Structure 1
Amino acid sequence: MLPLTQFQDFIDQNKLFSPGNRILLAVSGGKDSVLMLHLFKAIGVEVGVAHCNFNLRADEAQRDENFVKMLAASLNLPFYVTQFDTKKYAQENKVSTQMAARSLRYQWFEEIRNEENYDFIALAQHQNDAVETVLINLTRGTGISGLHGILPKRARLIRPMLFLNRQEIDQLVDENDISYVEDSSNLSTNYTRNKIRLEVVPHLQEINPNLEKTFTENIARFAEIEQFLALRVKKIEEKIVVKKGDGIYISLHKIAKLNPQKLLLFELLKPYGFTESLIAEVISSLKSLSGTQFFSASHQAIINRNNLVIVEKHADVIENQFFHPVTKTISFGALQIAQTFTEELKYESNKQKAFVDLNKLIYPLILRNWQNGDKFIPLGMRNFKKVSDFFIDEKVPLHLKTSTPILINGNGDVVWIAGMRQDNRYKLTATTKKVAIFELKIN
């Protein structure tokens, strides 16, 4: 008999899905996924069957595809199939074959889920898979999230087979005379997971015959610890993280008071792609000179006086943009500059706007990054000042220096440091007949 009560109990206890939800089953043709398919069919949930052919095992891969197709047809279930050139993808993206297959299948599963209106994707990973995942994570190095291994539910992915171990699955398949296909690559130690499964786990089972049960209990505890930590970090974030329009600010003084410092700062900066090794560098540099920078794949962190400022990473140099008389708006990174004209001699004390004597402009104007040597006469002053010195006097953070648009006249003069100060030479006077208005906006 199939363990339908245990299966349903596990689904209910972990709130994997609700009655009436449609589930897309990832079925390879092996024991685990085929048993999962029969369990879902037996409890009456509406399901579809998805199969990936990675073209890694020649005729065997085609055999698996044909088997799953016939199985879905025999159960009168919708069937979805795709084929990948996995090795080509791995080479082009410079990843392992396993990582390539993982990326390809999850992306495709999500596409099918969306296109065919399924609520969740069910994967047939079981307790032994969870054990192997934790061991791999520990071997490679991991934070607390890696200790809980595979969770029963994460976003739209559910794993309803985690209530069983491999031995129990083998026994159920035999007792219920369930047909399946065997993946010969499971016996190869060329893959990390197989090496753990075939060479490491058996030795651990000699020490603890109930290894899967022990790991399942540990994983549950680690998952609860992670939840507790997340709540703690959220409270700390609310107290010390300040989100502004130009970045995320964390007081260096408050970072110094974090305890345990490395763990909590890592959790605070993890959403921005900062690794543990980078966190260690940040901590060792907290007393460094203002301007010290650290980079993740997506963000940069800058020590700016009394704060650590996190901003999205962008190219320091943005391609020059040109204003013509007919130009209405120009995008400059995350910013936008609008141009309008008026014959009304009006002026607003607003740093987001520049009111310029149109007769003094030589088109096309250039909108570009600050360059070393730029100088201008700040509005209200008589003498030239280097833009770099102006930034220092205004205490402009480094990340804003490199992203602030500078409006340049056709003769090379700085007309406006966008959002900060316009040049005194281009102010409105009694002889001004027409006004060009430039306004800084955020896209």
Structure 2
Amino acid sequence: MDLLQGFTENIAKERLFAAGDRLLLAVSGGLDSVALTELCHRCGFDFLIVHCNFQLRGAESMRDEEFVKQMGTRYGREVVAGRFDTAEYAAMNKVSIQVAARELRYRWFEQFIKAGRARWIVTAHHLDDNIETMLMNFFKGTGIAGLRGMVPRQGNIVRPLLFAKKDELRAFAVEAGLQWVEDSSNESDKYTRNFFRHQLIPLVEQAYPGALARLSDNLDRMREAEALYRQSVEGWKKKLVEYRGNEVHIPVEKLRKAEPLATIVFEVIEPFGFTPQQVEGVVGLLDSASGRYIRSRTHRILKNRNFLIITPLLESEAAHILIEEGREAVDYPEGVLQLQRVPAANAGVLDQGPGVALLDAGLITFPLLLRRWRPGDYFYPLGLRKKKKVARFLIDNKVSLAAKEKVWVLEMDKKIIWIVGMRIDDRWKLGPRTQTVLRLTAMRQ
């Protein structure tokens, strides 16, 4: 079977795109992308060529850009070249050059898709690339998704050459009389991928002849295994994960029973920026005291009694404040909350203004959680014996939309005990058996 036939059959088998879809071909000018362009041309696909000049190799980078522009002329296709200050971006964002180039590249490509200039982003990744990716992921310690390597279609990114070996692309290009440019950085082993390509994989082939063919088969098997794995993971997520606005609540006891625990924990927390190395710490939260937490770059996982609560990091700093026993004052965005214990005998002389709550301290257990109210909250307003949604309470009290954004609640063990500055919950009011009063004073800014 020749490469062109394999190319068209693979597109049909994987249902990568329709014949009339406009493609955005990512073309560097190297062998792989030149072969991809010729294949798309022979198939009669509608495509636009885009080229990224990362300005990392001086005159060589400009040579590549000019070469791709000439390709556009030969094929009668539009070419758009983008130039990026990759080194500066890497330094500013504290990432490697490779990561910087990838982020810049795909961010730029997405602009074409959003503008409606193409339907799919098409790259020239091939089978050898995918085997290298799988091995790199294995040694980095990624999950099963890393072991199945790249997939033919991911979002609007399409990789129609994953079935083909590098040697097959080269043979096709030579037979077709194609020209391409060589990237000198591909010869340097300072890049991880090149080390695998030039050093590790040849040694593996030497020790185990035919290893690459077996690794190729493993990619297919891992892809199928991941499909089954995902079905199981999604089942666990439905059991464990409860979304409340921008928060994720996970019941500790249910999570503790999950098997295999570490794997399920990773799959739950990974979308929020947590790494495999943090799984052990998150599992440790299950038996920790309330108030313990672990951070990723974007989120925080907080242990609050019987739940783990995942919140965006910037908002969690302002919107969730844990109050441990013994605290006398707590700053929060709307002001200061003061806490004081007094004997019940003195309750009659205590100030009971709108910003003050008097609660039976004997019924209160710490820590308390001070947070913004959210839709779905409810409590038992003082004087009533039935529950009421906080949203309805605010409407009945004619609280404006602007004022609603500044409403906070004090929570104990997932139960609201006070809408700060407005009304306590009837279940924690003072009674004939009250011995100690917890006096809360909300001092607004």
TM range (shorter): 0.7 to 0.9
* Structure 1 counterpart of 2:194: 194
1:27-426 matches, within 5 Å, as 27-245=27-245, 247-315=247-315, 368-369=333-334, 371=336, 373=338, 383=350, 400-401=369-370, 403=372, 418-419=408-409, 420-421=418-419, 423=421
- The 3 A distance-change label for structure 1 pair 423 and 57 is closer
* Structure 1 position 8 matched with structure 2 position 8: yes
State how far apart, in whole Å, the 1-side matches of 2:129 and 2:233 are: 30
* Structure 1 position 20 matched with structure 2 position 20: yes
| Kept after mapping to 2: 8 A contact 1:2/1:176 | no
Where structure 2 has 5 or more consecutive residues not aligned to the other structure, the ranges are 321-330, 375-405, 410-417, 424-445
State how far apart, in whole Å, the 1-side matches of 2:158 and 2:246 are: 38
Deviations 1:345-364 (A, max 9, x none): xxxxxxxxxxxxxxxxxxxx
Instruction: Name the SS for the 2:220 alignment partner.
Output: helix
| Kept after mapping to 2: 8 A contact 1:31/1:173 | yes
State how far apart, in whole Å, the 2-side matches of 1:241 and 1:391 are: 33
Partner amino acid, structure 2, of 1:421:
I
- The 3 A distance-change label for structure 1 pair 424 and 273 is closer
| Kept after mapping to 2: 8 A contact 1:391/1:401 | no
Deviations 1:337-389 (A, max 9, x none): xxxxxxxxxxxxxxxxxxxxxxxxxxxxx993453636799xx9873699899
| Kept after mapping to 2: 8 A contact 1:144/1:222 | yes
Identity score, percent:
34
Partner amino acid, structure 1, of 2:269:
L
- The 3 A distance-change label for structure 1 pair 301 and 382 is farther
Deviations 1:231-272 (A, max 9, x none): 112112222322334732222111111111111121122222
State how far apart, in whole Å, the 2-side matches of 1:226 and 1:29 are: 34
1:146 Cα shift? 0.9
State how far apart, in whole Å, the 2-side matches of 1:244 and 1:104 are: 34
Deviations 1:372-429 (A, max 9, x none): 636799xx9873699899699677976x515579xxxxxxxxxx9635436589xxxx
- The 3 A distance-change label for structure 1 pair 367 and 103 is closer
Deviations 1:131-166 (A, max 9, x none): 111122122221111111111110011111111111
| Kept after mapping to 1: 8 A contact 2:356/2:421 | no
User: What is the aligned length?
Assistant: 367
The two structures have a TM-score, normalised by structure 2, of 0.74
1:112 Cα shift? 2.2
Instruction: Name the SS for the 1:20 alignment partner.
Output: coil
State how far apart, in whole Å, the 2-side matches of 1:222 and 1:76 are: 41
- The 3 A distance-change label for structure 1 pair 90 and 418 is closer
* Structure 1 counterpart of 2:431: none
RMSD: 3.2
Instruction: Name the SS for the 1:373 alignment partner.
Output: strand
| Kept after mapping to 2: 8 A contact 1:369/1:402 | no
State how far apart, in whole Å, the 2-side matches of 1:133 and 1:96 are: 17
State how far apart, in whole Å, the 2-side matches of 1:207 and 1:313 are: 48
State how far apart, in whole Å, the 2-side matches of 1:315 and 1:219 are: 40
The two structures have a TM-score, normalised by structure 1, of 0.75
